[in-house]
Amino acid sequence: MKTAKRLALAVALAGVALTACSPSQIGAAAIVGDKRITTTELDADLRELQQALSENPQAMQQLENTRQQAGATLPQLMLYRLVEAERYAQLAERAGVTVTDGEIDSWISRQGGAEAIETAMLSGGVAPSQSREYLRSLIASEKLVVQRGGGTDQDAVQRGQQAVAKELEAIKVSYNPRYGAFDVQQGFLRSDRFASSGD
């Protein structure tokens, strides 16, 4: 699915540079810059996602395929999505890049409408209540690439992606070890301890 692939590519745009350290604040699933993503928030999103997936078998199968390919549990995948969206949101704020609700609606329309986006979001591990903010971060990332690259041609996009990736390195991330060990190059490492926690 073209939209799903685009979303997945956008999430991984910067080739993440994350630090697998223990969050210093109790109750944090991860800390992104100075923003906490709490375990309570993650658990609520997980329950919401699972409920929505039960009503969308197509998205459920696509997400399962993604999860298996990534070698990650569902909580790990969801947490990673939340972390990356927050990193782009923070970078956009620093750069003065904003995204309006109208721009989100227009983007949804261009990508096939709300139903197609809903399936793409669910299959990517994004809870319905988080979908618009996730899209806001995605659109912001596209704007940042254009801004930093100086245009929309292929060379400009490449320059922009490299510049954005470098700037993202300044936004540090600490994952709570309860979700597994995270490696900058490999993502969450496979572990028998976490093998069934997202199944």
Say what the pLDDT of residue 20 is.
41
195 located within any domain: no
Say what the pLDDT of residue 182 is.
79
15 located within any domain: yes
Cα separations in angstroms, 196 against 15, 31, 138: 27, 24, 30
Looking up residue 53, the CATH number of its domain turns out to be 1.10.4030
Helices 114-123 + 131-149 axis angle, to 10: 90
pLDDT digits (tens, 9 = 90+) for 78-131: 999 999 999 999 999 999 999 999 999 999 999 999 999 999 999 999 999 999
Domain span holding position 53: 2-179
Query: How many structural domains does the chain have?
Result: 1
Below-70 pLDDT ranges, the chain: 1-26, 184-186, 190-199
Do residues 192 and 75 touch, judged by C-beta distance below 8 A?
no
